[in-house]
Amino acid sequence: MIQFDKVSKRYSTGQEALSGLSLELAAGEMTFLTGHSGAGKSTLLKLIMLMERPTHGQLLVNGKNLNRLHSSQIPYYRRNVGVVFQNHQLLFDRSAFDNVALPLLVSGYQPREVGRRVRAALDKVGLLDKEKQNPIALSGGEQQRLGIARAVVHKPRILLADEPTGNLDPQLSAEIMDLFRQFCELGVTVLIATHDVDLISRMGLRLLQLEQGRLIHDGAPEYAA
Amino acid sequence: MGRRNMQRNRLQKSKPTRRESAKKSSRELRRGASDGRARLLDKLKSYFQNHGQLLLRTFQRLAAEPAQTLMTSLVVAIALGLPAALYVGVVNLQQLGSRVETTAQLTVFLKKEATEVAVDQLRESLLSESDITAVDYISRQQALAEFQILSGFGDVLAMLDENPLPPVLIVQPADQFHGDLVASEALVARLKELALVDDVRLDMKWIQRLRGMLEVWERLAFSLGVALALGVLLIIGNTIRLAIESRRDEIVVVKLVGGTNAYVRRPFLYTGIWYGALGGLLAWLLVAVGLQWVDGPVERLAVLYQSIFQLQGLGFSGLLALIFIGAVLGLIGAWLAVARHLGSIEPK
- Contacts of residues B39-42 at CB distance under 8 Å and 24 or more positions apart, as own/partner, are B42/B17
Residues A60 and A97 in one domain: no
> How many domains, in total, are found in chain A?
2
> How many domains, in total, are found in chain B?
2
Alpha helices in chain B (DSSP H): 2-13, 18-31, 40-63, 66-102, 116-127, 140-151, 154-159, 181-192, 205-246, 248-256, 261-304, 315-341
Please say which residue of B177, B203, B229 terminates a domain.
B203
- Domain of B89 in residue numbering reads as 51-99+208-341
Residues A97 and A132 in one domain: yes
Residues A170 and A211 in one domain: yes
Is residue A210 in a domain? yes
pLDDT confidence bin for B210, thresholds 50/70/90: confident
- Domain of A132 in residue numbering reads as 92-155
Residues B137 and B188 in one domain: yes
Residues A144 and A188 in one domain: no
SS (H, E, C) B291-309: HHHHHHHHHHHHHHCCCCC
What's chain B's average pLDDT? 80
- Tell me what pLDDT residue A223 has: 60
Q: Which residue has the higher pLDDT, B25 or B107?
A: B107
Q: What is the pLDDT of residues A174-185, one digit of tens each?
A: 888 888 999 899
Contact list in B for residue A154 (CB cut-off 8 A) is 257-258
* CB-based burial label for A103 (10 Å; 0-12, 13-18, 19+): buried
Residues B283 and B317 in one domain: yes
Is residue A15 in a domain? no
Please say which residue of B185, B203, B221 terminates a domain.
B203
Phi then psi dihedrals of residue B257, to 5 deg: -95, 15
Is residue A35 in a domain? yes
Q: Which of B193-202, B279-288, B320-329 has the lowest mean pLDDT?
A: B193-202
pLDDT confidence bin for B10, thresholds 50/70/90: very low
Quote the CA–CA distance of B291 and B88 in Å, as a whole number. 9
- Tell me what pLDDT residue B11 has: 41
Is residue A86 in a domain? no
Is residue A189 in a domain? yes
Mean local confidence (pLDDT), B161-186: 77
Q: Which of A102-116, A203-217, B26-40 has the lowest mean pLDDT?
A: B26-40
Residues A150 and A184 in one domain: no
User: Which pTM was predicted?
Assistant: 0.72
Alpha helices in chain A (DSSP H): 41-49, 74-78, 96-106, 111-124, 140-152, 170-185, 197-203
Distance from CA of A167 to the nearest CA of B (A): 21
Quote the CA–CA distance of B103 and B278 in Å, as a whole number. 43
Quote the CA–CA distance of B321 and B287 in Å, as a whole number. 13
Contact list in B for residue A158 (CB cut-off 8 A) is none
Distance from CA of A222 to the nearest CA of B (A): 34
Please say which residue of B203, B224, B241 terminates a domain.
B203
Residues A101 and A58 in one domain: no
Mean local confidence (pLDDT), B172-185: 71
Cβ-contact A160, A81 below 8 angstroms: yes
- Tell me what pLDDT residue B99 has: 64
Contact list in B for residue A77 (CB cut-off 8 A) is 7, 258
Residues B213 and B334 in one domain: yes
- Tell me what pLDDT residue B198 has: 86
Phi then psi dihedrals of residue A25, to 5 deg: -115, 125
Residues A76 and A161 in one domain: yes
Q: What is the pLDDT of residues B246-258, one digit of tens each?
A: 889 899 999 999 8
Mean local confidence (pLDDT), A183-200: 88
Distance from CA of A169 to the nearest CA of B (A): 27
Residues A150 and A169 in one domain: no
Residues A65 and A76 in one domain: yes
Residues B334 and B217 in one domain: yes
List the CATH number of the domain containing A196.
3.40.50.300
- Tell me what pLDDT residue B22 has: 43
Residues A67 and A165 in one domain: yes
Q: Which residue has the higher pLDDT, B32 or B307?
A: B307
| Nearest 10 degrees: Cα torsion B75, B76, B82, B84 | -150
Is residue B252 in a domain? yes
Mean local confidence (pLDDT), B294-312: 78
Residues B335 and B267 in one domain: yes
Q: How many Å is the Cα radius of gyration of chain B?
A: 34
- Tell me what pLDDT residue B102 has: 56
Residues A144 and A194 in one domain: no
**B9, B133, B198 from B104: Cα distances, Å:** 70, 12, 20
Q: What is the pLDDT of residues A51-96, one digit of tens each?
A: 889 999 999 998 889 888 888 899 999 999 999 988 888 999 899 9
Is residue A85 in a domain? no
Please say which residue of A136, A155, A174 terminates a domain.
A155
Is residue B134 in a domain? yes
- Tell me what pLDDT residue B323 has: 95
Is residue A53 in a domain? yes
Cβ-contact A100, A118 below 8 angstroms: yes
List the CATH number of the domain containing B114.
3.30.70.3040
Residues A1 and A112 in one domain: no
Is residue B346 in a domain? no
> Which stretches of chain B sit within 8 Å of chain A by CB?
3-4, 7-8, 11-12, 14-18, 21-22, 25, 32-33, 46, 50, 249-250, 252-261, 263, 346-348
Q: How many H helices and E strands in chain A?
A: 7, 10
Is residue A14 in a domain? no
Contact list in A for residue B253 (CB cut-off 8 A) is 89, 91, 102
β-bridge pairing B106-110 and B168-173? antiparallel
Q: Which residue has the higher pLDDT, B107 or B269?
A: B269
Q: Which of A68-77, B13-22, B93-102 has the lowest mean pLDDT?
A: B13-22
